[in-house]
Structure 1
Amino acid sequence: MLLPSRPRRARATAALLAGALVTGALCTSEAAHAEEPTRDDRMDPGAYPPDGTRGNLFLAGAVTTGVWYGAALSFSYLWPDAPGAKDLRIPIAGPWLALADTGCADRDPNCSTFMVVLRAILTTIDAVGQAGGVLVMAESAFLTTAASKPAAPSPSATSKRASIRPAPVLTDSALGLGLVGSF
């Protein structure tokens, strides 16, 4: 029986030892570090958003509608001969009108069912996206917001100082000007 040579056995042992070390390093875990406690944020369902939310919400709806309209416009130029392509150029109502007229173009001999279904799916997604943007804009008109808080009085207004100011005096028999003050 032939035994492996000493260098070959040493290499096999070194490879086995290296594999065991790598496996051991990957299988051991480090002790958990303490983490800062997280703040428990609970939302008050009766709280209203701040006063400036209406404008931001309207802007978000307008951008959403614009992005989806841009997608519809690009689809209409990507497939200009497809049925309903001209309808896609109408904002908001165009995708809904184009859905009623899906199919293959008369001059497209290579039209496949896959392309018809793909156009219908993309048109539907676009229609829902544009309608969603319009609904977000409409929501901004009816959104109840919290009243803005009045500004805190300045320290000089709360300090006690003597003041005198003129005030009109009106009675049944006299009309005049008097002085009113605080001391």
Structure 2
Amino acid sequence: MTKMANEKELSPKQREELFKTLKTRFEKNMSRHEGLEWNKVQAKLEANTIKLWSLNEMEQTGGEPDVVGYNKNTDEYIFYDCSAESPKGRRSLCYDRAALDSRKEYKPADSALDMAASIGIELLTEEEYRELHKFGKFDSKTSSWVKTPADIRKLGGAVFCDFRYGTVFLYHNGAESYYAARGFRGSLRV
């Protein structure tokens, strides 16, 4: 194997720790995935080491990923970041590479889309973000970039969501903006 392939594999100890964490979270939050069985989820993960690596990256950056659904047509389990606030290890990011490159000074370390790609996940869409809130209250003190429609992005903007006053709000900002309390939430299909 190449060095790069090895970089996206977990050691046996890392796998064991991640499975323990994911199983505990799965069992603690059954309302997110009623009717689904952990042993079937784990079997899918064991068969896909790259996706398992991505879940570990989601976990390591504070996302607390959990199963929120199952697509029968594609035979895929759907994971979302379920941390109470936007993942701590994915904050202070502008929206995408073009926004990052456009900043002349005070550039953030990365962009949300680039970091998501490096982890192997997708930003939640507005619809997915709203769906997440069926399982609880998220981002009551933070906000999260969501996938921005191309027509908005073409004009220089990007969109993000948060939860205030018992409601999910969708806002806009310049794509090059970044804030300590804004990160992004991701999804992964396994």
- TM-score tier, shorter chain, comes to under 0.3
Greater helix content: 1
Q: Which structure has the bigger radius of gyration?
A: 1
Greater strand content: 2
Provide TM-score, normalisation by structure 2. 0.21
